[in-house]
Each structure stands twice: as structure tokens, then as C-alpha cells.
Structure 1
Amino acid sequence: MSTPDSPSGTPSGTSSGTPAKRVVVFDYGFGNVRSAERALARAGADVEITRDYDKAMAADGLLVPGVGAFAACMKGLRDARGDWIVGRRLAGGRPVLGICVGMQILFERGIEHGVETEGLDEWPGSVEPLQADIVPHMGWNTVEAPAGTKLFAGLDADARFYFVHSYAVHDWALETANPAMRSPLVTWSTHGKPFVAAVENGALWATQFHPEKSGDAGAQLLTNWIGTL
């Protein structure tokens, strides 16, 4: 069942009276920050849109949005010191969620129109053009989530999410050799060739689709993330 919009930046709260988790939507000039803010607030978070270093570091969770070109997003992120903030948070085990191009920039590199741009290199791999007859991939699609997922907990296997993108990661290259460490959980979707649709890797989670535009399924996913903070 859908819930009405909460006032901008106002959390819906919890029935137990537990203080809402504080989430910063990092504002570096690239991303649907207002729709992300509203979706997170409906999911019960205390949300602020900012690029302030101290607030981004102190928040329970940091959401990194992204729309447009990989190279432009990376420049905007670096200009706002977002690359340093993401790195520092992850070094301390502090949760970060990347969305759309905010997920893509977490990889080693992006290749657009033959131009290679260095990403944050949290994960190995290249963001490359979709290999499909119709590009961009725009609209609703299903995903194949792995066993043990927390991000997709409580969602049906046929749940659909909203995608808008022309580039993706087609090959996952990171595996954990140490049996004491949990390997990343990778969710896939298909548009032409299969591509990475989401990743759960310790404190770092990300989705290629837009949960804030994905109706009840996206709301459940954001609630799941907030519940881990």
C-alpha cells in the first residue's frame, strides 16, 4: 500500500519511538536529490540534502545519487570532495548507498564514446555501453537477487524496478578468497545482455535502477537499507 508524501525532509517516524536514522543525500550537482529525499523520508529516515563534509560524515547513512555522464558526475563528485567522503566513510564501515550513475562511479572506470574516465575504484570493472537493440534501457524490469540478500528482503521475485540508463557493468570481477569474509552479493538484470543491477558489499550497497521511482518495491528496498543503519 502506498503512503502519502511526508513533508520535505521530515521523517515518518517509527511506532516504537526510536529516533529516526539520519541520512544525508549528497548534493554534488548530479542526481534527483528531491525525489530521493522524499522517498527516504517516507521510508522513515531523517533526511538532509547537503554537501557539507561534517554532516555527510556524521550521518547514519549516505546516499550518493547520479544522473548524466560518468565523467561529469566524477568531476562534480571530486569538486565537492565526495570521493574523499565516500572513501573515509567506507574505511570506517559507515554505510553508503549509490544509485544509478552513483553506482557506476563506484567501479574502476567508465568508458563513454571511447573516452575512459577513472572512477572511485571501490570495485573492479568497467562501465560500458549496454549491449542491446534498444538503448537507453528505460522503464520497468525485473531482477535476479541472490540468496541471503538484505536489500531485496520481503520482495517478490517478480518485483519490478525503474531503470533509465545507457551504460552498465556486464562482468563482475570481485570475489573474496578469504572464507572468513563474505563475498559481495550481486543482483543481475537483463536488457540485451545481463548487467549488474545491484550490489551488497559490506557497508557499500548500490543499485543501477532508481528505487525512489520504483513505487512500493523501491520503498521496501529503501526501508530495508535504512533498517541496517
Structure 2
Amino acid sequence: RVLSAASRIPDFWRLAGTFFICGWTTNGAVQAHFIPAAHDHHLPEVTAASILAVIGVFDIAGSTISGWLTDRVDPRRLLFVFYSLRGIALAMLVPLLTGPRWSLLVFAIIYGLDWVATVPPTVSLTVTVVGRERAGVVFGWIFCAHMLGGAAAAWLAGFAREALGNYLVAFMGGGLLAIAAGFVSLTIARGSRQRPDLEVATASSPA
């Protein structure tokens, strides 16, 4: 089977691991907990929701630009930049919540441009690692890791908030994970990594 064969390729785990952190730092940490964190700092819910909306608007531009760049720049370097910027922004979120409102707008623009920007380079590297014919199935499993990361962060960030009384550790920890993901991305091989056992697995089953 494709998953069984792909799991024997180290780069598959690097891609899945970095995308796990992608889900952790987007759907899990920010999408689920930004409004509660803003409420902790006396920011009105409507204002906090509006900041999330700004993230969504700039997400459209960010994913489009990322797709264009992926055709022209080494995807590993793009992921390093995207994850590093995301990590720095997330690590600074709690201090920004206590600062002027315009600083949160800057955060929203940066985070929005970065939100889905990791997808095109990750897909490109998946094609490089397993081949075009198998990339769809393998990326589906990599995206599963993204959802697991989001679920884990949603629970753990809430647990940290209840245990510590604030989101500092949750957001700082997520930021450090994102920076680590950036460095891991640089280690993903760019050369063809297709394996005969993966080809046989594809011929026998799509799952």
C-alpha cells in the first residue's frame, strides 16, 4: 500500500511532521484560541473576530503568491521562511495583545499571508519525494497530519490556558515549533526519491 511504502521514506516523515506543526500553529493555536486570548486582554469579541477576518483576506493573497514563488524558488527555502515568520509572529502574539491595536493588524497581515502559503511548497516537495503519480494519495496522508496537529494544539493550548491562566506558553511553544519546522524543511531532499516498492504499492492499491 502507498502509505506503508511512503512511511519507509524519511522525507515523508519530515513533510508530515512539518505539516503537523502547520496545523498546530494555524487551525489549532490561532483559529481556535485567538478570540479567547483576545478576550483575556479585554479586546471585544467583534474586534477579535475582525482581526481573524483580516487573516482570511490576506490568506488569499498569500497562497496565490506562494504558488507563484514555488514555481521559481526552492520550496525548502520557502518553507523555511514561511515557518520562521509564522513562528516569530506567534511567539510575539501575547505581547502584541497588550500593545496598541495597530500591532494586531500587522500580526493579522503577516499571519494571513503565511496561513496557507506552506501548502504549495509542501505539495511540490511531495511530488519530488514520491513522484507525480503517487503524490495525491501521499499528500492526503500528509494533510491528515495537519489535521492531527490542529486537534492536538486546540486541546493542549486550552489545557495550558486553564492550568497557567494565560496563553503565553501555548503561543510561545507554538512559535518555537514553527521555527523548528522551518529548519527541518531545509533537510528535505530535492532529488528524485521514488522507490520501486512505492510503485508496486500504487499498482496494487490507492490507499
Scaled by the length of structure 2, the TM-score of the pair is 0.25
**More helix, by proportion:** 2
Which of these two proteins has the greater Rg computed from alpha carbons? 2
* TM-score of the pair, normalised by structure 1: 0.23
Higher strand fraction (1 or 2): 1
